[in-house]
Amino acid sequence: MRRRRPLSAMVALTALALSGTVFAAPGSAAPPAQQVSDDYVALGDSYSSGVGTREYFDDSGDCRRGPHAYPQLYADAAGVTEFAFVACSGAVTDDVDAEQLDALDESTTLVTVSIGGNDVGFADVIQSCLLGDDAGCDEAVSTAEQEMRSELPDKLDDTYDGISGAAPAAEVVVLGYPKLAELGDCGVPGFSETKRERINAGADVLAGVLRERAEAAGFTFADPRSQFDGHGVCGEDEWVNGPSAPLVESFHPNIDGHAAGYLRVLEDALA
């Protein structure tokens, strides 16, 4: 689906078997973008579509693309002439290959993509860590890390090759995932510091794989971990939702996570 400005008023995770009510904080205004792209395409999963911001375009359906997602914020601020917003909640690399690459063509000048978290089942990891004990959390993260190292690189290579082939003139920015949790006191039941440390260690492994494969493809890797430092779940100023209602909003960046987190990371990568 290709959108033209202006438009009307998502380690990576899908809906979790959790309950609770943690709502996103009001977003801060996005700073003006410096980079201008004539033809921008936003690919990827829920961390790109804007899941967690709680407001979505009516025509985006279960993909949950929203006006507060960093790709939309960037397109609006930069004055993008052509903007195709095709990122979709729950997407894995195969979904990008089969359903999103058609948005690219030889005139595409900028591509952003976040993908890989769902390929290694990180929603199941979070569920295991929240509902199980420390040992079960460690086992779940270890299994995901094994998949990151053994299976994910080939999947990323295939997807990145597809992007290069479909948009040969484009600058491509691969955006990673933040660490999800802060250490110290936490009001989330069962979310021990040991579990949070283990989940964050898994995020570090995922970041390393994403960086390696992005750079091998000749793409820019934009790492959001330092930008989100201090703003994970259990932090004083959360940019990532904890267990939430509706469930799909859980453990995704909120409005501030996109405006003050991901958007600024993208702008720095393009500077």
**Which residues are known catalytic residues?**
46, 252
Kind of pairing between the strands at 82-85 and 2-3? antiparallel
How far apart (Å, rounded) are the C-alpha atoms in residues 185 and 200? 16
Beta-carbon neighbour count of residue 34 at 10 Å?
11
Task: Give the CA angle between residues 1, 15, 69 to the nearest 5°.
Answer: 40
Q: Would you say 241 and 254 are in contact if contact means Cβ atoms under 8 Å apart? A: yes
Could you give phi then psi for residue 151, rounded to 5 degrees? -115, -40
Spatial neighbors of 146 by CB under 8 A, at least 6 apart, are none
234-237 CB contacts, 8 Å cutoff, 24+ apart: 234/181, 234/182, 234/183, 234/184, 234/185, 234/186, 234/187, 234/188, 234/191, 234/196, 235/182, 237/25
What gap in Å lies between CA 201 and CA 195, rounded to an integer?
A: 10
